[in-house]
A and B are shown apart, each in its own frame.
Chain A
Amino acid sequence: EPEVTQTPSHQVTQMGQEVILRCVPISNHLYFYWYRQILGQKVEFLVSFYNNEISEKSEIFDDQFSVERPDGSNFTLKIRSTKLEDSAMYFCATQGGGGRLGTDTQYFGPGTRLTVL
């Protein structure tokens, strides 16, 4: 069964540095999402992406964050200047779409643990 993959599995960075988290969606999926989970807290929505543009973003997703799908396969989340409070598990999710039966399910990647020192 196809799966969403994410790299790296763990990223350690210094405060103020830029990080790029990568996700390879399931082939033919149309909707892409990033979520994050700070240790001990709930999974929170960051941003959704469809048809090569952001369709919705949360208050967390400020100017320090950006997403893109540069080569039509990888879906990336960039944090321009990391802060201590960005330390969290970041999950990518993808969804088939197209209105077909069963395409409402979001499939999650294994996550990238980001540690900002």
Chain B
Amino acid sequence: AQRVTQPEKLLSVFKGAPVELKCNYSYSGSPELFWYVQYSRQRLQLLLRHISRESIKGFTADLNKGETSFHLKKPFAQEEDSAMYYCALSGRNQGGKLIFGQGTELSVKP
């Protein structure tokens, strides 16, 4: 079964603290993994994808095929990072549907 699991519905941290948003997946094959972010009242935006191995706004995510995980990390959270974060997978990079996790709401307190 194709599935993305984000175990935490809400993650609350203080500004400057490290953040890790967990994502595990189940997929038979080699999926493409993504993190999307949704700031208050805005559209879903791509934050990063595993294939590009880049860091965006200080966030990184490493695909661990052994643990089937794609956790999102940031060493020092900022208040403007408060948003909904969705982990998603696709079976192919062209024309493949996205399968989303439940989402994790990140709240960064001053």
Q: Is the CB of A104 within 8 A of B94?
A: yes
Contact of A105 among B46, B95, B102 (CB under 8 A): B46
B40 → chain A closest CB, angstroms: 13
Write out the residue numbers on chain B whose beta carbons fall within 8 Å of the beta carbon of A35. Answer: 98, 100
- Whether A104 and B99, one on each chain, are in contact in the complex, defined by CB atoms closer than 8 angstroms, is no
Q: Mark A86-111, 1 if CB is under 8 A from B, else 0.
A: 00000101010101000111111111
Cross-chain contact A31 with B46 (CB below 8 angstroms): no
Interface centre among A33, A45, A55 (most CB of B within 10 A): A45
Q: For A99, list chain B residues within 8 Å (CB).
A: 94
* A interface residue numbers (CB < 8 A to B): 3-4, 30-31, 33, 35, 41-45, 48, 50, 55-56, 58, 91, 93, 95, 97, 99, 103-111
Pairs across A and B, CB under 8 Å, 19 listed: A4-B43, A30-B95, A31-B94, A31-B95, A42-B86, A42-B102, A43-B86, A43-B100, A48-B95, A48-B96, A95-B94, A97-B94, A97-B95, A99-B94, A103-B93, A104-B49, A104-B51, A104-B94, A110-B43
B94: min CB distance to chain A, Å: 5
**Residue on B with the closest CB to A45?**
B97
Does residue B44 face the partner (Cβ distance < 8 Å to A)?
yes
For A108, give its contact among B44, B101, B102 (CB under 8 Å). Answer: B44
**A33 touching B97, Cβ below 8 Å:** yes
